């Protein structure tokens, strides 16, 4: 249980940490491997305000279309998600996504329009609904307040670690929480519908405030995450708020809104960092902090350019303090800046080593740099010394195993 500012506390329980949510995950048979759960369900006793953000790829999966339909009134009671098949670029994709929503609605005895639906897996292979139909009864009957674990397992694809987190905070004197399950070895793999994050909260919050907080949190977390720059066709982050905490409804612009937004942001950043750490083939979590830029947006563009550079990523894998690649990636980012004011350092639990000042090489100790770069979490800090713009991007190193995993994923 680590604490962040504003009394935000990380707690156990994932999407079932907030009151009134149950979850489950089973192996229904979409995947051949019987030991891998492949169908997840999250259910709220009461109708929730619900918001989501989606992939910006203009090629997107049929489940995205159906979820947008479900959330058109800003309400939801459940999330259903399969792994193994993305249900994207299939001739019958929309039909199948609607049918999957209907099967789930039937199983839960609720309206189809109250269900958020997602699929994650290979693009262009047909989704077989028979296992979903056959498994729905078991899935629904197994819903429990301890079920976040199984749901988190069921949405995993190449993830090597389950991603299930929750935060606790206080609104209006009431203890509230937000829980999340997520999948994604980073933004790596579009044919695996890379990134999904389903969140739940018992905070009472209006729909506009919920959507606004989600957008703000995603901007500095998932949208600052890159493993290889490939944006998935099925990416989605959603949140359902059931209001069971009993606080006065949070309105956008209020103090409570800031508290909620900060808690949600802390949770999303935690998930994004864990995705980066679990990036396909990754051995190191990489964070690039750009500060002193003209504005936050410029800082963000530069930080992402650095984090996406294959050369920076391979250098970090090789534990090589090759900072020329960092200033180079900043240089081609499209942002104008004064090269002669740039300072760059590497930081980790192993210490800090400054490698560039005023845009020029520093005579640094290679021994010290090696010690810093030997650690598992590396921070690249680039100071522009121009103004106060700041951003942080999350990524990982590029390794042999990334090539191996993606060289023959489909076969």
Contact residues: a second copy, CB under 8 A: 56-60, 86, 88-91, 122-126, 188-191, 228-233, 308-311, 314-315, 317-318, 320-325, 327-332, 336-337, 339, 356, 359-361, 366, 398-400, 402-404, 406-411
Q: How many whole angstroms separate alpha carbon 321 and alpha carbon 341? A: 20
* Shortest distance, position 39 Cβ to a second copy, whole Å: 22
The smaller minimum CB distance to a second copy, of residues 107 and 300, is found at 300
Catalytic residue among 194, 200, 233, 399: 194
* Shortest distance, position 379 Cβ to a second copy, whole Å: 20
* Shortest distance, position 212 Cβ to a second copy, whole Å: 25
Sign of the four-CA dihedral 279, 320, 322, 327: positive
Where is 393: in which H helix or E strand?
Answer: strand 389-396
Sign of the four-CA dihedral 117, 35, 23, 238: negative
The smaller minimum CB distance to a second copy, of residues 21 and 317, is found at 317
The DSSP code sequence of 76-114 is: EEEEEEEEEE---S-TTHHHHHHHHHHHHHHHHTS-GGG
361 CA to centre of own chain: 36
> What does the buried/exposed string (b/e) look like for 210-243 if buried means 16 or more CB atoms within 10 Å of the residue's CB?
bbbbbebbbbbbbbbbbbbebebbbbbbbbbbbb
Where is 287: in which H helix or E strand?
Answer: strand 285-293
* Shortest distance, position 364 Cβ to a second copy, whole Å: 10
* Shortest distance, position 30 Cβ to a second copy, whole Å: 17
Closest to 222 in 3D by CA, of 178, 275, 261: 275
- Identify whether 194 is a catalytic site residue: yes
Closest to 73 in 3D by CA, of 46, 113, 111, 43: 113
Length in residues, the chain: 411
CB 393 within 8 A of CB 288: yes
The smaller minimum CB distance to a second copy, of residues 124 and 351, is found at 124
The smaller minimum CB distance to a second copy, of residues 255 and 310, is found at 310
DSSP state of 187: S
CB 379 within 8 A of CB 348: yes
* Shortest distance, position 313 Cβ to a second copy, whole Å: 9
* Shortest distance, position 231 Cβ to a second copy, whole Å: 4
The DSSP code sequence of 344-390 is: EEEEETTEEEEEEETTEE----HHHHHHHHTSSEEEEEEE--SSSEE
Residues labelled as active-site residues: 194
């Amino acid at each position: 249980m680590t604490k962040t500012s504003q009394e935000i506390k990380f707690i156990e329980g994932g999407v079932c940490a907030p009151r009134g949510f149950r979850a489950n995950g089973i192996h229904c048979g979409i995947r051949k491997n019987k030991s891998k759960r492949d169908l997840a369900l999250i259910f709220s006793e009461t109708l929730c305000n619900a918001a989501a953000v989606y992939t910006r790829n203009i090629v997107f999966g049929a489940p995205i279309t159906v979820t947008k339909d479900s959330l058109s009134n800003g309400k939801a009671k459940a999330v259903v998600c399969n792994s193994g098949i993305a249900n994207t670029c299939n001739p019958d994709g929309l039909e199948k996504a609607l049918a999957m929503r209907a099967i789930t609605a039937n199983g839960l005895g609720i309206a189809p329009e109250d269900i958020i639906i997602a699929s994650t897996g290979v693009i262009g292979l047909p989704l077989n609904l028979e296992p979903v139909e056959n498994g729905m009864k078991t899935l629904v009957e197994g819903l429990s307040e301890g079920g976040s674990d199984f749901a988190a397992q069921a949405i995993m694809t190449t993830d090597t670690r389950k991603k299930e987190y929750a935060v606790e905070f206080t609104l209006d004197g009431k203890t509230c929480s937000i829980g999340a399950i997520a999948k994604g070895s980073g933004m790596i793999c579009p044919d695996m519908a890379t990134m999904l994050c389903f969140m739940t909260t018992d905070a009472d919050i209006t729909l506009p405030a919920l959507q606004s907080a989600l957008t703000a949190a995603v901007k500095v977390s998932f949208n600052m995450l890159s493993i290889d720059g490939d944006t998935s066709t099925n990416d989605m982050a959603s949140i359902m708020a059931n209001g069971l905490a009993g606080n006065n409804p949070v309105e956008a612009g209020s103090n409570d809104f800031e508290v909620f937004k900060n808690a949600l942001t802390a949770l999303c950043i935690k998930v994004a960092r864990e995705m980066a750490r679990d990036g396909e083939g990754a051995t190191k979590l990489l964070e690039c902090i750009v500060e002193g830029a003209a504005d936050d947006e410029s800082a963000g563009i530069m930080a992402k350019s650095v984090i996406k550079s294959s050369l920076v990523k391979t250098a970090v894998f090789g534990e090589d303090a090759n900072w020329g690649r960092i200033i180079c990636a900043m240089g081609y980012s499209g942002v104008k800046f004064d090269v002669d004011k740039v300072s760059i350092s590497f930081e980790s639990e192993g210490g800090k080593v400054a490698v560039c000042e005023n845009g020029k090489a520093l005579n640094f100790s290679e021994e010290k740099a090696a010690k810093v770069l030997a650690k598992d979490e590396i921070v690249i800090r680039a100071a522009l010394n121009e103004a106060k713009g700041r951003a942080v991007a999350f990524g990982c190193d590029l390794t042999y195993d990334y090539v191996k995993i993606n060289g023959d994923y489909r076969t």
